[in-house]
Amino acid sequence: MTQVFLWETKTSSEDISFGSTFWKRTTLDPQLSLYLPAVRAMGHDVRGCVYDVLRKPDQKPSAIPELDSDGIKIVVDAAGQRVRTKDGKKWRQTGDTELGYVLKSRPETPEEYGARCLEAIAENPQKYYARGVVVRLEADEREAAADIWNTAQHMREARRLNIYPRNPDSCIQWGRECDYLNVCSGITDIKDPLLFKFDEDVHEELASDGALVSSDLNLLTQSFMRAYRKCPRLAQLRYILRMRPIKRADTLSTGHSVHAALDVFRRGGDRYVDAAIDALETEDPYVRAKERAMIMGYAAYWGPTTGVVAIEKLFQIPLINPATGAASKTFSLGGKVDAIVEAEAVRDLTSPV
């Protein structure tokens, strides 16, 4: 039996240095506790999980001062006339709101913004890239299995009774409103075609792999269970009714886009950098420029990958009652692991080049 590690990719806006809250949460991550048994069911001797984390640059698009032919900044008064310094010998290069002096500027281009993000990454790559190996003890897996079974029982009762209570404590998380807050508060209608659309796939993240599991309501994915634990009404609207917001939040868009690009990069290493960038899914030119900088910095910092056994591996396994060992007659568990890598490659994998 091949010894392997799971390889999960995460993007984050928070501190990803070792010892931070981000890494403390990985010890409780239910996704890992679900995926480890799945990889064993594939016939691998899985030893743990490599978390590959990319922090999103904090920089925002800004204005660029306009320069004259001599490379000097241009300041104008309220009448639009260029302003000199008090002694009249030089052109003024700073604005002053009280005097009505304005520093002329233009919007930063996506290319300039991306270069600035890449420069920030190059100055301190450890701030933006981190890898760590997380393991689960047998006791951890048993407790996680009990958590999953308990969640499944609650979900089964909610479906049987058609009762999905709202959880106001989850309406705002990470500084962002829930996609369905206006629906639950009566401001908008879930059937508004300008805001929401019906999706044939229950599990949109699995849709590209065919209809085997993507349309199965009895398949419990980590995303489905996380949504229910967060707010039962959210799970009902998103998974039971399959009404999805038309506009994806930028934070979620970047994570999905970077993930797609890294899938391509890991298949071919350095020669796939351009192809990986082409695989970015974000259309906004400024967000895409930031993501491009993240991919370029990643490739330069970590280098090509070896020992990859599988990428985007789909799985479906029974949901087991941890008390009796019997499989559920209602639900099964499913998902898609980012990658599986040979154990002997992990030492090199977690050391920057």
For all residues of the chain together, what is the average pLDDT? 90
* Domain assignment of residue 295, yes or no: no
Mean pLDDT of 341-347: 84
* pLDDT tens per residue, range 203-224: 888 876 554 556 788 999 999 9
- Rounded (5°) CA angle 109-253-240: 155
Q: 54: Cβ–Cβ under 8 A, 6 or more apart, which residues?
A: 9, 10, 11, 12, 128, 129, 258, 294, 298
The C-alpha atoms of residue 301 and residue 306 are separated, in whole angstroms, by 15
Side chain identity, residue 88 = G
Identify whether residues 141 and 45 lie together within a single domain. Answer: yes
Whether residue 52 is found in the same domain as residue 68: no
Distance CA 322, CA 20 (A): 32
Q: How many CB atoms lie within 10 A of CB 188?
A: 15
Q: Tell me: do 184 and 242 sit in the same domain.
A: yes
Asked whether residue 145 falls in the same domain as residue 202, the answer is yes
pLDDT confidence band for 244 (50 / 70 / 90)? very high
Tell me how far apart the alpha carbons of residues 318 and 322 are, in angstroms, rounded to a whole number: 12
Prediction pTM value? 0.83
Nearest Cα to Cα of residue 294 among 313, 275, 276:
276
Same domain, residue pair 12 and 100: no
117 in any annotated domain: no
Answer whether residue 218 is part of any domain. Answer: yes
Whether pLDDT at 136 is above 80: yes
Residues 6+ apart with CB under 8 A from 188: 182, 195
Tally of domains within the chain: 2
User: Is 90 exceeded by the pLDDT of residue 289?
Assistant: yes
Whether 274 is in a domain gets the answer no
Do 235 and 147 sit in the same domain of this protein?
Answer: yes
**Within this chain, do residues 141 and 175 fall inside the same structural domain, yes or no?**
yes
Q: Do residues 46 and 67 share a domain?
A: no
* Structural domain containing residue 36: 3-58+127-250+307-349
